[in-house]
Structure 1
Amino acid sequence: MSKRFQDTARRVLRLEADAVAELIDSIDAHIDRACELMLHCSGRVIVTGMGKSGHIGDKIAATLASTGTPSFFVHPAEASHGDLGMITPDDVVLALSNSGETNEVLAILPVLKRRGIPLISITGRPESTLARQAEVHIPVTVREEACPHNLAPTSSTTAALAMGDALAIALLEARGFSAEDFALSHPGGSLGRRLLLTVDDVMHAGERLPCVSHDTPLRDALLEVSQKGLGMTAITDTDGRLAGIFTDGDLRRVLDQPQVDLRESPISAVMTAGPVVIHTGHLAAEALKVMEQKKINGLIVVDEDGRPVGALNMHDLLRAGVV
């Protein structure tokens, strides 16, 4: 029985993959016209569709919105009962219907025409009413559904979804939509955190910054490391600029040097001079990259004059969701 399941799964994936692949040869000037309408639209791209086409349309609207093209989905049945008020003459409507004869979609066409709202259609039948009524028709025709009865929308919905992605990415590239722009639409996601968080947002600053002067006795520097809980302390020179760093690792090395007086030796005698730093304003993701490359667990953040203003370690980046 399990072999039969596997064979069916492979057949479905082959049929749907073929349906998408066959779309490539259908790409023509209609795509250019559709993209131009959406690109120069001063309002929003309103996506609509009924049933399974509606589910696909909802996802296409979400993809458009997250890639720089303002868009939302309007249910065609609800549109006929008041939601048409959401659509303005500045908008463009993208309507999906495999048959091109969906009553709920066709019912709103006269209002769109009367208000001069451009219509782009995606259907499986170029001769259908919806295709003929649209300013631009994008054919998404499949030879057969993956359903053995050739009834359940499967290959056709997959192909329509892929075409929606093609339109969204074409518009993304035309707008020069960057990864940073994408992050601004996804501040709660991991990409947003990686592209928006700076070291200033994550670092320990002010009273929480472990920092001592170069002439501080080692015992007092150890107390600073312990109290601030970052496993390190910055060491400044007489001008307040960063002179070095002392970490838990440095302490272990000092303990192997019996000639070092833990009570009286100045921290400058055992610190690591010229440590790796990062400047304010840099992305937290850059700090992560530096730590991984240098195989270190913490960084001192310095200002443009080389003065320490913060510190962070790998645990801070983990808590911020950067790692």
Structure 2
Amino acid sequence: MRDIVSCFSESAIDVSHSSCSSYSHNACISPSLTPSVQNAVSCFYKITLSTRKQILATVSWSKNHTNQGLSIKFGNDPSTCFKLGTHTRFFRKMKGSKLIESDTSKIEVFWDLSSAKYELGPEPVEGFYVLVMVDSEIGLILGDIGEETLTKKFKTSSTSVAKVSLVSRQEHCSGNTIYATKARFCDTGIQHDIVIKCSGETEGLRNPVLSVYIDKKTVIRVKRLQWNFRGNQTVFLDGLLIDLLWDVHDWFFNPGSGYAVFMFRTRSGMDSRLWLEEKLVQKEQERIEFSLLIYANNAFLLEEAPSSMGTSSPEDLDPVHVSLSRVLPHYINGDYTFI
């Protein structure tokens, strides 16, 4: 078997930084098509306090036809999980605070969703804040809390602010054959529009083709998707190497699932090897690698699949476990693309 790195070629395609301001103006999406809807979003943050103590916080937003929820889990202790869930109409009016019991830290969560604005997904886009205090230190701030509110309610001259890094983001989508999202792959980079589309070469989806676009330009186009259901591509974006991996096997062959996994993961440096060949955990590593995972339930494609295929929802999986068990062991080809 060939070494994984040898699967990559030296060819490159330059892609500009033009941005899609909205789905309707995105040249990758037909105006008659509506992108799939996000059902849940989970973000994993690494919080480093001034004492060098580190805490991993998982923030999850979810929504269905009637209910909406927010949960924050700290570490692996289930007793330190904060949950907020109710009918969608009441969820959007909620604000308050809660003290989380922990044997190792004093954790307080403050939130205000009363003026939050949403797009299609469960995650608010503006007009809200969620703030986490850890041992009287500001550990995590989400949303657009004003400096006046921050100073008046939470911050004093002696209050420390922790260092926060976004380690990974997971999105669960369903409904259509188009998945659109936005992502920033480094703190100094711009926000990029990502579109994943599955369409047929002919009428219908009997000969599906997988296309991935970043800022309106094609990154990959995979024909004969029934056979090329797993693969990888490497792109250069914001001065970073980013590994793009896809696994759509379950869209076609797994009767117990029916969802695909798409993964974008940054490497630690331009001279680094493919990230899966590096150590998954490096305690002394200063630079945090970021990964974006998209779980896609393709209901339209499943309608054309054999009737034995199921449409169950994806499990709430850890990103490392998903990448190892679903995507990484199966590589078909690999190329470099400059963005």
Shorter-chain TM range is: under 0.3
Give the TM-score normalised by the residue count of structure 1: 0.23
Give the TM-score normalised by the residue count of structure 2: 0.22
Rg comparison, structure with higher value: 1
Q: Greater share of helix residues, 1 or 2?
A: 1
Q: Greater share of strand residues, 1 or 2?
A: 2
